[in-house]
Amino acid sequence: MCYQLLAICKICHLTSSPGCDIANPKMGTKFLKIVSLSLPGFIVILLQSFPVLASMITDIRLWSAPDHTRIVVDLTEPIQFESSSQENPPQFHLELKEASLKTPKREMEVKDPFLIKMSLTEVGKNKVKLILHQKKPLKANVFVLKPYQDKTHRLVIDLIDVVQEKKELEERQMQKEIKPRGTRIVVIDPGHGGEDPGAIGPKKTMEKDIVLKVGGKLVHLLNQGKEIQAFLTRKGDYFIPLEERIKIAREYGAELFISLHTDGSFNPQARGSSVYCLSLSGATDEAAKILADKENTSNILGGAFLRPAAFAKDPNLNQILLDLMQNNSMKESFRLAEALLEDIKTINPLKYLSYRQANFIVLKAPDIPSILVEMAFITNREDERLLNREDFQEKMAKILTTSIKKYFRP
């Protein structure tokens, strides 16, 4: 056991700052423990050295989006890593330092548009190599996420097909250009996705799955006639940052944006539907504020690194014009929210008789009327049962279709 006088990093270490050099394995395989000893007349602060705690890799999973695949590695401790790419065959290599595996080697065949398999191998003492075997060359973004709620330390690798990414963007913009005269464009946003499951019911039903199902049915119904063309922000189980959802809606040229959610509460008795609009001056009540805060944490849970885009930061936009647009969009949102509540109450009890307002990031497009619908409480047994039922999902999609059509034909 070796003791040295403490010279550096006491506060940093004590507060577990992410920038702390103590967490850097370049300093060696030791970490510093601070020991304070009170002696008569003076205080001596000493260091004690112990082996670093290796980070155990406890899980690895992936989420496939049309233009990228996100790989998430769960770890018990923060991690240091080195990455490299290889062209032939296309592979992405990640060497994790001070890491260990539960099993010496793991190889996983995956069903994914861009990946063939992933392999995790122990290479020497406390070193693990992750190899992602790709179908084609891809751009990689690697970042770490700190523990949050029930999530542990996470290492995230986004493998992006830049050609496909550009194609997706061009297709959205093309829809805007080829839109027949008089046709209205509606973008439906199934909340959450991928790493962010949203609220979870007593029977483990996940909000992200229910909203995707209802969203798909809603888009299908809206596209039945010629008057409306509807699109989804996400078509599968992957995460899109909240600001990116607005960007997608704008690329489509949306005239209406509806974000679909299911509510969650610690009170298992809470149930019913509710509708929310943006507020620029604080929430209408505490419950609305709590809900907005919870929905806004989606970016933290889902990992909002990929292509963050904040509409408000566009330097080409005139602030006065933006305010005018925002005022008009909010008025229109209120009109739809009121009409929708009238319609929804014919199929499900309402949590609140009027719409509520709060600072929801996803409703912040200044030029697109936007509302957020909490279809029912997934944390209530009866509501969870309903949300899982195909006929209830159909009913919800139908009632939303009716309200949207009425909105465009006041």
Q: Are the C-beta atoms of residues 200 and 207 closer than 8 Å to each other?
A: yes
Q: How far is the CB of 298 from Zn ion (least distance, A)?
A: 7
In the bound complex, what is the minimum distance in angstroms from residue 217's beta carbon to Zn ion? 18
Nearer to Zn ion, 207 or 367 (CB): 207
CA–CA distances in Å: residue 122 to residues 103, 134, 255, 345: 9, 21, 53, 58
Neighbours of 141 (CB within 10 A): 14
Q: From the centroid of its chain, how far is CA 201?
A: 19
For CA atoms 388, 399, 238, 290, give the dihedral sign: negative
Smallest distance, Zn ion to C-beta of residue 263, A: 8
286 three-state secondary structure: helix
Is residue 191 at the binding interface for Zn ion, with CB under 5 A as the rule? yes
Whether the CB-CB separation of 66 and 90 falls below 8 Å is answered with no
Is residue 196 classed exposed, middle or buried when 0-12, 13-18 and 19+ CB atoms within 10 A define those classes?
buried
* Window contacting Zn ion (CB under 5 A); options: 64-72, 186-194, 225-233, 375-383: 186-194
Binding part of the chain for Zn ion, among 132-140, 177-185, 191-199, 283-291 by CB under 5 A, reads 191-199
Give the residue with the Cβ less far from Zn ion, 153 or 217. 217
Closest residue to Zn ion using C-beta atoms: 261
Question: CB atoms < 10 A from the CB of 72, how many?
Answer: 20
Considering only 21-29, 44-52, 102-110, 193-201, which stretch makes contact with Zn ion by CB under 5 A?
A: 193-201
Minimum CB separation of residue 260 from Zn ion in Å reads 8
Does position 208 interact with Zn ion (CB under 5 A)? The reply is: no
Q: Which of residues 242-271 bind Zn ion (CB under 5 A)?
A: 261
Residue 194 as a binder of Zn ion (CB under 5 A): the answer is: no
Nearest distance from C-beta of residue 386 to Zn ion, angstroms: 17
Instruction: Please tell me the distance from the alpha carbon of residue 199 to that of residue 271, in angstroms, as a whole number.
Output: 13
**Nearest to Zn ion of 13, 261 (CB atom):** 261
Based on CB atoms, which residue is closest to Zn ion, 274 or 333?
Answer: 274
Query: Alpha-carbon distance 122 to 101, whole Å?
Result: 7
- Cβ within 8 Å of residue 174, ≥6 positions away: none
Q: Which is nearer to Zn ion, 196 or 255 (CB)?
A: 196
- Least separation in angstroms between CB 200 and Zn ion: 11
Q: Select 66 or 197, whichever has its Cβ closest to Zn ion.
A: 197
Minimum CB distance to Zn ion smaller for 191 or for 193:
191
Closest alpha carbon to 155 in 277, 57, 38: 57
Which two three-digit tokens encode residue 235? 């078509």
Residue 199 CB, nearest distance to Zn ion (Å)?
Answer: 6
* Structure token pair of residue 144: 């770490």
In angstroms, the CA 112 to CA 261 distance is: 27
Q: Among residues 250 and 261, whose Cβ is nearest to Zn ion? A: 261
Least separation in angstroms between CB 363 and Zn ion: 12
- Considering only 90, 137, 193, 198, the residue that binds Zn ion (CB under 5 A) is 198
Rounded to the nearest whole angstrom, what is the least distance from the CB of residue 291 to Zn ion in the complex? 9
Between the alpha carbon of residue 311 and those of residues 136, 154, 322, the distances in Å are: 32, 28, 10
Q: How many residues bind Zn ion (CB under 5 A)?
A: 3
Q: Which amino acid is at 351?
A: K
Phi, psi of 138 (to 5 degrees): -135, 155
Judged by beta carbon, residue 90 or residue 303, the one nearer Zn ion is 303
Contact yes or no for 6/46 (Cβ under 8 A):
yes
By the criterion CB under 5 A, which residues form the site for Zn ion? 191, 198, 261
